Amino acid sequence: MVLKKQTVWLITMLSLLIVLSVFYMTSPNDVEVVGPADDEENQNEETEETQGELPLDEENQNDEEGTDEEKGTEGEEEGTEGEGAESEGSELDVSGMTVDELFATTRLEKEDTRSELKEQWESVLASSDSSAEEKNEAMEKIHEIETAAQKESKLENTIQYEKDYRDVLVQKEEDVVTITVIADELSKTEANQIMQMARDEFGIMDVRVSLQEDDV
């Protein structure tokens, strides 16, 4: 009986060893045990990846906002260009007047300016508070204004008669005489002749001659 019990016990132990051997052989060897610390690291990595990725809707929205801003900038630039065009249009309105209108306007402005200056000097001349020296200066200035106007008119008529220009505008400002003629062309010889005629009338001065093409 004792021998049978030992035999049974030995067989049982062998069977148990065989079962354990089979279990260890069939079970995976690279089983990884994840602790609490590893769980936290994995969660942090997933969170960072999620934050780093922008949702598609937000990307589209940002793209649309950027496009709207670009459109707004382009609109502002177009508006600025439009304002520039309007400014150019205003300049064209001024320069769009005919040559005759330009000459007439210039003459009127010149006459108005001289009339105001003449009135100021006449006030000095008529004032009882003005000294003799101031009155003499006023008389000289009035004479200069009247003489300049007379010489301008005379030179205009002379040039127009001799050169057969449609119109001539002469302006004397201090020591400068500006002469503008309306013609189809103006040669260098003609310009030199006009300059000499101006010096004969006004004396040695800086004379400038320019051409205003006829628009008729």
Cα 120 off chain centre by: 43
Return the pLDDT at 23. 60
Closest CA to 60 of 71, 52, 72, 68: 68
Question: Per-residue b/e over 175-210, b at no fewer than 16 CB within 10 Å?
Answer: eebebbbbbeebeeebbeebbebbeebbeeeebebe
pLDDT of the residue at 12: 76
Taking the domains of the chain in order of start, what are their residue ranges? 98-213
- The tens-digit pLDDT sequence of the chain (216 residues) is 555 666 766 777 777 777 666 666 665 544 443 444 444 555 555 545 445 444 444 445 555 555 555 544 444 444 444 443 333 333 333 367 788 888 999 999 999 999 999 999 999 999 999 999 999 999 999 999 999 999 999 999 999 999 989 999 999 998 999 999 999 999 999 999 999 999 999 998 999 999 988 776
Output the pLDDT for position 104. 92
Annotation: CATH topology of 98-213 = Helix Hairpins (1.10.287)
- Report the candidate in 158, 180, 177, 208 with the shortest Cα–Cα distance to residue 105: 180
